[in-house]
């Protein structure tokens, strides 16, 4: 295979994507290792290698003596062409073994638009796409986890078992169960049954879905005994002592996030009502600064990275962020190691932090007010005021930055043109502040970037329809016309990809045929604008009798059974209903970090608690709704 691979690698654009051999890559003895698992990232190498979750699972599994985990990424179309031409099957980077020879393949589901890549990778591996066609034969077990597993239904026919929630602990339970099943010589079905009994594992083939005449879902019922009617996500209770990779694989070619990643906390307490991550990574759990300093030292020593990024959903919220940044800069600054912050909360405090870590103000600062008026920001519970934003940009412009990026979402529930006009006004006010404070006027730039709202499962907005593409285009045009002028830049996301994202994110099992048809028509890398083709998808829906608008544009009722209702993210449906009602009334809900529990129901349901560095905690209330 090596000779053949060499010949192929001479013909592709970036052979480093497939060559392996990176620093800290783990290569174990193939024949003497009991379980062989492939971690499959359904996007290109540079994207997949930027993903902390992969590094965590890679380290956690490879620490075991009886198991190995090797990486495989989606081949770029030029590589796919070569592989198909020469019959080279999809292979892992470490051993260069065909993926088909592994015991388990684990896909990570980071975004809906990677679904066609999953089918493509299975196909390139020579593995039948559907569970039913793999059953009983000697094919690898195909599992999947990650954010999109919280509505697993569109992929239910392709994936044998979904893993819900945080993977550090459950991955070991999965491997143990697999091993035990093999030892006992169990068949395919017995093995799946064994897996389905692990908390947090959902085996879709053990559930039957019935539909109403109007096309809605009538019921989702387990078809065998011993599997739960509601599969609840897994949460790591002790984030402090759970495995963290301090010897991550260092990518051989430049990746999207090519730096050390230090996870300062997991979860976010802000409760933005459109945000799925805010729900699925609850509760917030901070790490102790001493642990983080130790990890930082180990990671830098083991990787040689010149930059360390403090990652989390909202790093400025980490209660010890200020002393942590000072300590890291003091300890590692003189060896040429910089600290970076991935996302900034909209306030002056965050800009001060950025000032401390960014000695050179070369890049722009980005803030995400998400909506243009206070009314709409209250609807989405984005706890940001115009005053916060003006303070933040004032601090940024006086601190030496000349470029500001503002992120907004359009198509949010209850949005009117007045909210769009609010975006314009806000941008102009920021620009005006820049004119007052920035001396190099020529470099002053305010970029407004708008994405389209996509309703996501397990959020208070899960019942809400997405705007039609026509309406989103009209709103973009509205903004484009008004955001012209010196110093203003307007960017927007293509509403077509957001539409497919909405269909898939709210989809059910009936979409399987359409996903497969889209893939057969050549859909790949749908998240990449150069490859995305709406017409392929529309033809696929047409062919399989699916009306995509029913998924994207439909308003669900509170009483409806949603396709993902048998998947438990921990937050109660009653709470989501209450939050949705509050949103419609324009009422905000406070952050549980302050000590007052809004009663989302997660902590009692999953027997966990928020944890703040230094041992402070929030007293959860029982589900009192």
* Contact criterion met (CB below 8 Å) for 231 and 200: yes
How many helices (H) and strands (E) would you count in the chain? 23, 19
**Which residue, 59 or 563, has its beta carbon nearer to another protein?**
59
| Contact pick of 7, 441, 486, 581 for another protein (by CB under 8 A) | 7
Touching another protein, residues 294-333 (CB under 8 A): 300-306
* Shortest spacing between CB 20 and another protein, in angstroms: 6
**Which residue, 16 or 128, has its beta carbon nearer to another protein?**
16
**Which residue, 140 or 251, has its beta carbon nearer to another protein?**
251
Instruction: Fill in the DSSP letter of residue 234.
Output: B
* Shortest spacing between CB 336 and another protein, in angstroms: 6
Q: Give the list of residues 6+ apart from residue 57 with CB closer than 8 angstroms, or none.
A: 39, 69, 106, 167, 168, 171
The single residue listed with the structure tokens 């908390």 is: 199
Q: Which residues face 231 on adjacent strands? A: 567
- How far is it, in rounded angstroms, from Cα 402 to Cα 447? 11
| Contact pick of 31, 335, 439, 535 for another protein (by CB under 8 A) | 335
Contact status: 253 vs another protein (CB under 8 A):
yes
* Shortest spacing between CB 255 and another protein, in angstroms: 10
| Contact pick of 26, 135, 237, 250 for another protein (by CB under 8 A) | 250
**Which residue, 302 or 390, has its beta carbon nearer to another protein?**
302
Q: Give the list of residues 6+ apart from residue 112 with CB closer than 8 angstroms, or none.
A: 148, 154, 500, 501, 504, 505
Contact status: 15 vs another protein (CB under 8 A):
yes
Touching another protein, residues 386-445 (CB under 8 A): none
Q: Which of 164, 170, 156 is nearest to 206 (CA)?
A: 156
Strand, helix or coil at 356?
A: helix
Tell me the pairing of strands 161-163 and 141-145.
parallel
User: Helices 512-520 and 115-125, interaxial angle, to 10°?
Assistant: 70
- How far is it, in rounded angstroms, from Cα 146 to Cα 320? 28
Distances (CA, A) of 336 to 50, 307, 574: 21, 8, 51
* Shortest spacing between CB 327 and another protein, in angstroms: 19
* Shortest spacing between CB 332 and another protein, in angstroms: 10
- DSSP state string for 592-611: GGGS-----SHHHHHT---B
User: Helices 77-86 and 115-125, interaxial angle, to 10°?
Assistant: 20
| Contact pick of 1, 21, 416, 441 for another protein (by CB under 8 A) | 21
Of 2-10, 317-325, 378-386, 482-490, the segment contacting another protein by CB under 8 A is 2-10
Interface mask toward another protein for 262-301; x: CB under 8 A: --------------------------------------xx
Lookup: tokens for 473: 């285009």
**Which residue, 226 or 301, has its beta carbon nearer to another protein?**
301
**Which residue, 46 or 153, has its beta carbon nearer to another protein?**
46
**Which residue, 282 or 295, has its beta carbon nearer to another protein?**
295
- Residue ranges binding another protein (CB under 8 A): 6-7, 9-11, 15-16, 18-23, 250, 252-254, 258, 300-306, 335-337, 359-360, 362
């Amino acid at each position: 295979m090596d000779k053949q691979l060499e010949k192929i690698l001479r013909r592709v654009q970036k052979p480093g994507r497939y060559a392996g051999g990176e620093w800290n890559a783990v290569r174990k003895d193939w024949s003497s290792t009991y379980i062989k698992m492939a971690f499959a990232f359904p996007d290109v190498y540079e994207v997949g290698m930027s993903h902390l979750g992969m590094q965590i699972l890679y380290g956690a599994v490879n620490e075991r003596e009886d198991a190995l985990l090797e990486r495989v990424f989606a081949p770029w179309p030029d590589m796919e062409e070569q592989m198909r031409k020469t019959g080279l099957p999809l292979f892992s980077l470490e051993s260069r073994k065909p993926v088909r020879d592994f015991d388990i393949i684990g896909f990570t589901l980071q975004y809906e638009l990677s679904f066609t890549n999953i089918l493509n990778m299975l196909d390139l591996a020579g593995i039948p796409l559907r569970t039913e066609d793999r059953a009983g034969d000697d094919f690898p077990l195909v599992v999947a986890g990650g954010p999109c597993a919280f509505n697993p239904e569109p992929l239910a026919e392709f994936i044998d078992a979904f893993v819900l929630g945080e993977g550090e602990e459950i991955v070991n339970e999965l491997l143990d169960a697999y091993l035990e099943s093999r030892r006992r010589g169990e068949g395919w079905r017995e093995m799946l049954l064994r897996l389905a009994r692990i908390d947090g594992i959902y085996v879709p083939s053990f559930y039957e879905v019935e539909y109403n005449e109007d096309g809605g879902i009538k019921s989702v019922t387990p078809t065998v005994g011993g599997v739960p009617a509601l599969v609840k996500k897994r949460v790591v209770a002790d984030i402090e002592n759970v495995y963290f990779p301090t010897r991550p694989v260092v990518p051989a070619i430049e990746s999207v996030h090519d730096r050390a990643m230090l996870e300062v906390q997991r979860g976010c307490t802000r409760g933005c009502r459109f945000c799925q991550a805010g729900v699925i990574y609850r509760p917030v759990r901070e790490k102790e600064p001493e642990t983080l300093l130790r990890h930082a030292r180990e990671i830098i020593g083991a990787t040689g990275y010149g930059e360390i990024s403090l990652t989390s959903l909202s790093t400025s919220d980490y209660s010890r962020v200020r002393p942590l940044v000072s300590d890291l800069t003091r300890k590692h600054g003189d060896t040429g190691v910089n600290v970076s912050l991935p996302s900034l909360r909209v306030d002056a405090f965050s800009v001060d932090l950025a000032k401390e870590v960014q000695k050179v103000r070369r890049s722009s600062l980005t803030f995400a007010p998400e909506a243009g008026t206070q009314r709409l920001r209250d609807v989405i519970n984005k706890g940001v005021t115009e005053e916060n934003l003006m303070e933040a940009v004032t601090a940024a412009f006086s601190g030496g930055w000349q470029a500001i990026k503002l992120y907004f979402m359009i198509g949010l529930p209850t949005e009117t043109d007045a909210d769009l006009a609010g975006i314009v006004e806000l941008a102009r006010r920021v620009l005006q502040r820049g004119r007052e404070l920035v001396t190099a006027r020529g470099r002053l730039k305010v970029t407004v970037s708008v994405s389209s709202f996509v309703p996501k499962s397990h959020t208070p907005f899960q019942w809400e329809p997405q705007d039609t593409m026509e309406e989103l285009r009209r709103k973009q045009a509205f903004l484009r016309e008004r955001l012209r002028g010196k110093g203003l830049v307007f960017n927007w996301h293509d509403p077509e990809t957001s539409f497919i994202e909405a269909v898939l994110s709210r989809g059910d099992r009936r979409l399987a045929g359409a996903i497969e048809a889209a893939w057969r028509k050549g859909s790949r890398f749908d998240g990449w604008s150069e490859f995305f083709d709406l017409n392929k998808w529309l033809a696929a829906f047409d062919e399989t009798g699916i009306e995509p608008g029913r998924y994207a544009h439909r308003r669900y009722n509170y009483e409806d059974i949603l396709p993902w209702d048998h998947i438990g993210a921990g937050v109660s449906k009653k709470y989501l209903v209450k939050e949705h009602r509050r949103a419609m009334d324009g009422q905000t809900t406070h952050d549980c970090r302050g000590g007052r529990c809004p009663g989302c129901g997660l902590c009692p349901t999953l027997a966990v608690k928020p944890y703040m560095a230094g041992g402070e905690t929030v007293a959860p209330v029982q589900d009192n709704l």
